[in-house]
Amino acid sequence: MVNDFSRTLSFLRQEKKISQRQAASDLSVSQALLSHYENGVREPGLKFVINAAAYYGVSCDYLLGRTMSREGASVSAEELPDFSAEKGNLLKGNIFAVLQKKLVANSVALVLELAGKTDDKAFISDVSCYISIAVYKMFRYLYLSDPKQFSVSEESFSSLCDAEAKLCEMRIKCRLSGKNPDGSACEPVSLPAEMSHDYLIREFPQLAQSLFALLQTVSDKVSEKLK
């Protein structure tokens, strides 16, 4: 089970300053079962997630680590997807897609949060632009069957996107290093001095695990090319 849920569930109870026994009673589960949920030993069903979100006054998305915002529209049982009738690969495919979506979305959110700490509008814009270009390219590939939707032709869009991404990447690297492309000095952006594992976990508890998983996946893929 993804650690975000168990960690958030435990945090919310402690924040509310109630015992595990009391919370278990209010949520109509045994203390032992709640302990398993909070420690990631057992994975709860949808009913418990909905009840816990209502009990702690947060959205289901927040409880599941899908958003940093505690607020959100209430999610009813009717609105939640029911995979109980799905069989075989279809169910596995749906779960895999959801996990991949969360992995990428959380990682992008953390990168943008870090960029935002610089308070440098141009730098933040370049980081956002670089990520947006990747999304645009993938969307174009998915919808090449209807090229009339886009003003840039199918023959040109990939190369133009790559060129713009390289420009963004160059500007980002220059601002981080404090050197312009011609070697002259420029004002470097100010990022947190510490970017360690512990720092990211402490500052971004809902997002860091997704980023670490994404970094490991990409690192493994890149490393394979060197063998």
**pLDDT for 159-184, tens place per residue?**
888 898 999 999 999 988 888 888 88
Which 3 state secondary structure label does DSSP give 156?
helix
Per-residue pLDDT at 82: 42
Q: Tell me the average pLDDT across 4-13.
A: 84
CATH of domain 3-63: 1.10.260.40
Per-residue pLDDT at 77: 38
Q: CA 112 to CA 132: how far, in whole Å?
A: 11
Per-residue pLDDT at 91: 41
* pLDDT band of 226, cuts 50, 70, 90: low
What percentage of the chain reaches a pLDDT higher than 90?
Answer: 16
Per-residue pLDDT at 76: 42
Backbone phi and psi for residue 179, each to the nearest 5 degrees, phi listed first: -135, 135
Contact between residue 110 and residue 211 where contact means Cβ atoms under 8 Å apart: yes
> Where along the chain do the CATH 1.10.260.40 domains lie?
3-63
Q: CA 212 to CA 110: how far, in whole Å?
A: 11
Residue with the bigger pLDDT between 37 and 15: it is: 37
Per-residue pLDDT at 88: 45
Residue with the bigger pLDDT between 131 and 205: it is: 131
Per-residue pLDDT at 8: 84
Q: Cα-Cα-Cα-Cα dihedral of 65, 70, 74, 80, to 10°?
A: 0
Residue with the bigger pLDDT between 5 and 143: it is: 5
pLDDT in tens, 61-115: 778 776 655 665 433 434 334 444 444 444 444 556 667 777 888 889 999 989 9
